[in-house]
Structure 1
Amino acid sequence: MLQHLIRQDADLRMVPTDRAELTTALQGLREELATSPDPDRIRVLTRWIGIAQMSLGNYDEAHTSLRQSLELAITSGNVRAVIATELNFGDAHRYAGDIETAETFYRSALDTARGTCPELLDFALQHTGKHLTERGNLTGARTHLQEALRLRIAKGNTELVESTQAALDRVDTLLGNAAAAAPNKWSRRWTAWLQTRTTVADASQWHAGFPAIREQVRGLAAHQRVQPRHLRDHPFPAEPVAAMAAEAEKALFTDGYLHNGKRNAAVGEAANQFATQVDLAALVARSTGLAVEQPHTGVYIGYTEGQSLDFHLDESGFGDANLIICLQRTRPTQADKASTTVFISTASYLECDLGAGSGVVFDGALTPHGRTPLGVGESITLISLGFRARDQARRTLTNLPPAPA
């Protein structure tokens, strides 16, 4: 209704494109409101009057109009309208500096969207992510915005994807990672492009659609420091694998957080002991030809029935080589096809079926990868480890191909 008269400023807050024009349009809405007998139309008008007043900086007036719109949405049982208006109400309080009240509205909208209106979940995550950014909870903000990005990529709406990418770029900058912001933006744009052209969910279409992305993937592969390799010949010792599996199960349950459709958790003492008992750097070097340091980071990952991870590129800071080890797996014997780790190479899609104690090494920043959906009764627990190249020059990614338009 007024979208063309409102833009986002450098802080990603709504402001007028032209203050005089928005003020004139606002007056028109007020005149219509004074004569409209339709409660549904009144709800829409009061919501947009509230948004306009918020964009103009008139927060008390915005609160009054949005409160009226929200009451009408609740009375009519229009869940979509309730969520949308709660998000606007949260913004109006956040802009006015009332952070606690804003948090109440964002959380209510987010909970409702998750439970009953998934088509608006990306909007709830986006608004909540911006709120957390301003609160200084940058880790929480990134988690919410990354989930919003995944959902918006699936929607295929370029404008929404770019809006979320802008919010993520701001979080990176605030985290003090200004130098990393450019490559991270690059990886997100590549991920968005990949996910609009292929998906882990439909393997039957992979080969038919592959010619359309072959040349672009070839440009990525030219810079890869490590080719995907399934370490079948190097099974990891059963005892430390079992210890990590037990630690991961507890961590994922108590401290796990949702990330890209599955649960992640920080590694603990069992993983640290494993890294001292097994010379992982030597193993990666022997398997790939890339001399690396011992792993500098790691995360537990848990998938359950129905979960998957669509094709993506990792942000470059995770490592120059990545090692995924399967810690535990439940796979019903009657299942037609098990979930696999899958990569896109210059020749085709490569599937890697990991059993407990086996691993795969690859360059996650430059190799599109994901996990196909888990079937009925299936679960898998992994540890993902990041390694830095010993040669500083191998860590610097230059002349990378831009993400296709």
Structure 2
Amino acid sequence: MDFKKLREDLSSITDIIYFDSNQYLREKSSNLSKLKQFIIKTEVFLEQIKEDALINKEEKYFLYGTLGNLYRIYGEPKISINYLELNLKYAIEEKLYKKEIISLIRLGEALKYDNKLEEALEKFNLALVRCEETDENSHLDFAFQHKGKCLLELNRLEDAMNCFQSALELRKSKGNSSLIYSTEQAIEFAQNIQN
């Protein structure tokens, strides 16, 4: 299998992912065996290319990030954290600010799923700082959204709502209806908790 085919196969993963309203809108899978198949396929591919110096570092970054996300959703946050730390290390070494911010957000999510909420919050805050320092704002809305969801789990509802409102404003300016909907869901969820 080549990298392009693997990416195409992985794009269908969204069909088995949902946000669990019983667990603070955490991502879950409706088909764990299919999710595990994706994980195995991605790990086998990564193992095949690991020692190949000709393989683009970007491909390895993508694979580490993918495995980090899949393991988090699968319920193995410690493995997820390992992959995402590799991602973050690569982004920092290569001075790829956008990738660093994305990696911080993903790592924060994995830490949250590992019930390390304060550490997760630190990663989200660092992502926000890096957005400001580097003037890389393409993922600022994601940083606010994920920080807000972490604050929800810490029962800091007012702070969470402020983050969601910031994310919503940014997402409305982007005009992406699925992102707007995601934030509106989070706001509604937070309002239900408050009531």
TM-score between both structures, scaled by the size of structure 2: 0.86
Other structure's SS at 1:119 match: coil
The 1:15–1:70 alpha-carbon spacing in structure 2 relative to 1, beyond 3 Å, is same
Looking at structure 2, the residues matched to 148 and 17 of structure 1 have their Cα atoms a distance apart, in angstroms, of: 27
Pairs within 5 Å for 1:287-298 = none
Q: Residue 133 of structure 1 aligns to which amino acid in structure 2?
A: L
1:107 lines up with 2:107 in the alignment = no
- Per the alignment, residue 17 of structure 2 pairs with 6
The 1:17–1:114 alpha-carbon spacing in structure 2 relative to 1, beyond 3 Å, is farther
Looking at structure 2, the residues matched to 137 and 44 of structure 1 have their Cα atoms a distance apart, in angstroms, of: 33
Looking at structure 2, the residues matched to 95 and 59 of structure 1 have their Cα atoms a distance apart, in angstroms, of: 6
Other structure's SS at 1:15 match: strand
Looking at structure 1, the residues matched to 73 and 179 of structure 2 have their Cα atoms a distance apart, in angstroms, of: 20
Aligned residue among 159, 163, 166 for 1:144: 163
1:169 lines up with 2:188 in the alignment = yes
TM-superposition CA deviations, 1:358-400 (whole Å, max 9, x none): xxxxxxxxxxxxxxxxxxxxxxxxxxxxxxxxxxxxxxxxxxx
Percent identity of equivalent pairs: 26
Looking at structure 2, the residues matched to 4 and 48 of structure 1 have their Cα atoms a distance apart, in angstroms, of: 16
Q: Where does structure 1 differ by over 4 angstroms across 4 or more consecutive aligned residues?
A: none
- Per the alignment, residue 376 of structure 1 pairs with none
- Per the alignment, residue 316 of structure 1 pairs with none
TM-superposition CA deviations, 1:223-246 (whole Å, max 9, x none): xxxxxxxxxxxxxxxxxxxxxxxx
1:33 lines up with 2:49 in the alignment = no
Other structure's SS at 1:118 match: coil
Cα offset for 1:143?
A: 0.7
Looking at structure 2, the residues matched to 28 and 69 of structure 1 have their Cα atoms a distance apart, in angstroms, of: 19
Cα offset for 1:35?
A: 2.1
Give the strand-richer structure, 1 or 2: 1
Other structure's SS at 2:18 match: strand
Cα offset for 1:78?
A: 1.4
Looking at structure 2, the residues matched to 3 and 114 of structure 1 have their Cα atoms a distance apart, in angstroms, of: 30
Looking at structure 2, the residues matched to 110 and 4 of structure 1 have their Cα atoms a distance apart, in angstroms, of: 30
Give the helix-richer structure, 1 or 2: 2
Looking at structure 1, the residues matched to 126 and 182 of structure 2 have their Cα atoms a distance apart, in angstroms, of: 22
Cα offset for 1:120?
A: 1.0
1:130 lines up with 2:141 in the alignment = no
Aligned residue among 74, 80, 104 for 1:56: 74
Looking at structure 1, the residues matched to 92 and 15 of structure 2 have their Cα atoms a distance apart, in angstroms, of: 28
The 1:76–1:3 alpha-carbon spacing in structure 2 relative to 1, beyond 3 Å, is farther
Aligned residue among 29, 43, 55 for 1:16: 29
Looking at structure 1, the residues matched to 129 and 16 of structure 2 have their Cα atoms a distance apart, in angstroms, of: 30
- Per the alignment, residue 116 of structure 2 pairs with 98
Structure 1: tracts of 5 or more residues without a match: 177-405
Aligned residues: 176
- Per the alignment, residue 290 of structure 1 pairs with none
Structure 2: tracts of 5 or more residues without a match: 1-9, 50-54
Looking at structure 2, the residues matched to 6 and 112 of structure 1 have their Cα atoms a distance apart, in angstroms, of: 29
TM-superposition CA deviations, 1:206-236 (whole Å, max 9, x none): xxxxxxxxxxxxxxxxxxxxxxxxxxxxxxx
Looking at structure 2, the residues matched to 92 and 119 of structure 1 have their Cα atoms a distance apart, in angstroms, of: 21
Cα offset for 1:169?
A: 0.5
Pairs within 5 Å for 1:211-222 = none
Q: Residue 42 of structure 1 aligns to which amino acid in structure 2?
A: K
Looking at structure 1, the residues matched to 123 and 174 of structure 2 have their Cα atoms a distance apart, in angstroms, of: 25
Other structure's SS at 2:25 match: coil
Other structure's SS at 1:77 match: coil
Looking at structure 1, the residues matched to 60 and 16 of structure 2 have their Cα atoms a distance apart, in angstroms, of: 21
Aligned residue among 159, 175, 178 for 1:156: 175
The 1:151–1:16 alpha-carbon spacing in structure 2 relative to 1, beyond 3 Å, is same
Q: Residue 16 of structure 2 aligns to which amino acid in structure 1?
A: L
Cα offset for 1:166?
A: 0.5
Cα offset for 1:59?
A: 1.3
Other structure's SS at 1:48 match: helix
